[in-house]
Amino acid sequence: MPHVKCLQCRECKSEYPIEPLNACEFCFGPLEVSYDYDSVAKAVSRKSIESGPNTMWRYHDFLPVEKDSAVDISTGFTPLIHAKNLGRQLGLDHLYIKNDSVNPTFSFKDRPVSVTTTKALEFEFEVLACVSTGNLMGSVAAHGAKAGMQTMVFYPADLEQGKIQGAAVYGPTMVAVEGTYDQANRFCSELADAHRWAFVNINMRPYYAEGSKTLGYEIAEQLGWKAPDHCVVPGASGELHTKIWKGLEEFEGAGLIDKAKTKMHLAQAEGCSPIVEAFESGNNQVKPVRPQTIAKSLAIGNPAAGPYSLEVLRETGGTGVFAYENSIIDGIRLLAETEGIFTETAGGVVISSLKRLVKQGKIKKDEVTVAFVTGNGLKTLEAMGDFVVPIETKPDLDTFQKKLSNQKD
Amino acid sequence: MSVSVRIPTPLRKVTNGEDKANADGNTVSAIIASLDSQFPGIKSRLCDDNGELRSFVNIYVNGEDIRFMEGVGSGVNSGDEISIVPAVAGGR
């Protein structure tokens, strides 16, 4: 960790040693990893990064772990696809989809969890734990398996089956908590005080959050070492939104790209949009809500990074936008039917919100836009409802031809 | 009336390592004042200069977030369980 200085409170700037700590003891503000950026800038170049592995670990100089110790199941460096078909429909010439649903456990969560699992081993934890709305627990269970750690995953009991089974297969202890994610989260915060476990999104959060920066680095590198004009990012805790921006700023600081003038838009679902509501009403504080959305992976009513996400929205000239609940499935199908990418409900929120942003004139035809698709559609099949209407036929040519022509009529 | 308050790790230096404390009062703000008289300085860590809860502190009464109730003015009954939790957890 040659470039890491300490943990620092984002609010009052108190400093702490590199330990499994997440909250400032003076003001409860979140702790963040502080780096010696001069030392980072000296160590990295476009060339050194390009010669690294085809995973997120090509950016290890920007991550808070020892070199060469990574628990890597081949996460990151996912495709950035020029979405010409979808772009044509929406009236955008330079629309790109960052398809992070092709990570090893099919969501962007592998990025923060890869960093956290590596760090948990450095701290000599034996148990890796998390509280999750689904994607995270699959990733924690997989990385724990790879690292030879015990894993404990906590989730709200009403989660989609695909996410429950998709985590259980890696062999963790599964704990179904009665109630909402926010209730499970509160419970786990208390639990994290009582056990010496590496709770990836609680006591390990400063390290965890750093992993998401790699999405910012990747899109810049994949665009030819340039920041885009717009990013459209799904919002749950607000952390991903702030960390993609941090990634772009760090690349700029290290001289790898020119000044980032990206407008960082945040997309939430209508039924859980506390950050967007605060943005629209001009508040600096986010008022918690009780989520009622089909986008369960975005159903965080009390978003921890909400205030910082608001800062990023205002600093970059981005817009907080929500997708109507009844447009989320349409967004999923539109992306699938135009680009051949099947995303989960969070991706439906992003595509549907992107449509609204274009309609509102926030994104112009010739501007480079990256929409983040962070999870795979097979995880949330239930949300799709009963939309399949097949042609039913006997295995007989005449019957089939007749049915086919009927359908065309 | 007396209630039990769960103390999170970042506050335990103030409570001499105790993870639970008893406090008296019939509102959350009275409970905080009662804690502060036992453990001087605890209030300034939980509340800003106007007496409002800091952004990154969550307080729950029997598992219910007081921001969904009347904030620090929320009522408290004897035997209630109060939990102070740093708000910086999360991610999905």
Indicate the pTM of the whole model: 0.94
Question: A 357-396 residues with CB below 8 A of B?
Answer: none
Is the domain of A161 the same as that of A280?
A: no
Same domain, yes or no, for A116 and A151? Answer: yes
The count of domains in chain A is 2
Question: Using one digit for the tens of pLDDT, what is the confidence trace for A340-385?
Answer: 999 999 999 999 999 999 999 999 999 999 999 999 999 889 899 9
Q: Residues A188, A250: one domain? A: no
**Of A153, A185, A209, which residue sits at a domain end?**
A209
CATH number of A137's domain: 3.40.50.1100
Residue A337 resides in a domain: yes
Using the beta-carbon criterion (under 8 Å), do A239 and B91 form an inter-chain contact? yes
The reply to whether A72 falls in a domain is: no
Q: Are residues A133 and A278 in the same domain?
A: no
* Same domain? A267 vs A316: yes
Domain match, A216 and A125 both: no
| Band of pLDDT at residue A21, cut at 50, 70 and 90 | very high
Average of per-residue pLDDT across A283-310: 91
- Check residue A1 and give its pLDDT: 67
- pLDDT value at position A409? 66
Query: Considering only CB atoms, which chain B residues are within 8 Å of A132?
Result: 92
Percentage of chain A modeled with pLDDT above 90: 88
Q: How confident is the model at residue A330 (pLDDT cuts 50, 70, 90)?
A: very high
pLDDT at A141 over 80: yes
Q: Is residue A105 less than 8 Å (CB to CB) from chain B?
A: no
Asked if B46 and B28 touch (Cβ cutoff 8 Å), the reply is no
Residue B70, exposed/middle/buried by CB under 10 A (0-12, 13-18, 19+)?
exposed
Q: Is residue A45 part of a domain?
A: no
Q: Which residues pair with B4 in a beta bridge?
A: B22, B81
Q: Which domains does chain B have, with CATH numbers?
A: 2-86 (3.10.20.30)
A30:B6 CB<8 A: no
Q: Whole-angstrom Cα distance, residue A2 to residue A203?
A: 23
Q: Which two tokens stand for residue A332?
A: 């999923």
* A217, A196: one domain: no
Angle at A297 between CA A89 and CA B71, to 5 degrees: 120
Domain boundary among the residues A159, A183, A209 is at: A209
How do residues A182-196 score in pLDDT, each as one tens digit? Answer: 889 889 999 998 999
Which of A189, A209, A229 is the last residue before a domain boundary? A209
Residue A208 has pLDDT above 60, yes or no: yes
**Nearby residues of A39 by Cβ (< 8 Å), 6 or more positions away:** A2, A3
- Phi, psi angles (nearest 5°) of residue A269: -85, 145
A114, A185, A189, A380: which to substitute to probe chain B, counting the most B Cβ within 10 Å? A189
H-run or E-run covering A389 = none
Whether A250 and A361 share a structural domain: yes
pLDDT at residue A262 above 80? yes
State the pLDDT at residue B52.
Answer: 87
What does the alpha-carbon distance between residue A57 and residue A94 come to, in Å, rounded to a whole number? 28
A166 token code pair:
């998709």
Q: Are the C-beta atoms of A224 and A346 separated by less than 8 Å?
A: no
Q: Where are the alpha helices (DSSP H) in A155-238?
A: 161-168, 181-194, 205-211, 213-222
Kindly report, residue by residue over B33-45, the tens digit of the pLDDT: 999 999 999 999 9
Nearest to B6 among A22, A132, A190 (CB): A190
Provide, as residue numbers in chain A, all residues whose Cβ is less than 8 Å from the Cβ of B70: none
Please report whether residue A379 resides in a domain. Answer: yes
Range of the domain at A162: 109-209
Is there a contact between A56 and A76 (Cβ–Cβ < 8 Å)? yes
From the CB of residue A329, how many other CB atoms can be counted at a distance below 10 Å? 17
Phi/psi for A31 (5° steps) reads -90, 140
End-to-end CA distance of chain B: 38
The residue to which tokens 């295995």 are assigned:
A395
Asked if residue A343 belongs to a domain, the reply is: yes
Element (H, E) at A175: strand A173-177
Which of A7, A26, A28, A380 should one mutate to test binding to chain B, selecting the residue with the greatest count of B CBs within 10 A? A28
Query: A243 and A366 share a domain?
Result: yes
Distance (Å, rounded) from C-alpha A129 to C-alpha A235?
23
Q: Which residue has the higher pLDDT, B42 or A160?
A: B42
Residue A197 has a pLDDT of: 97
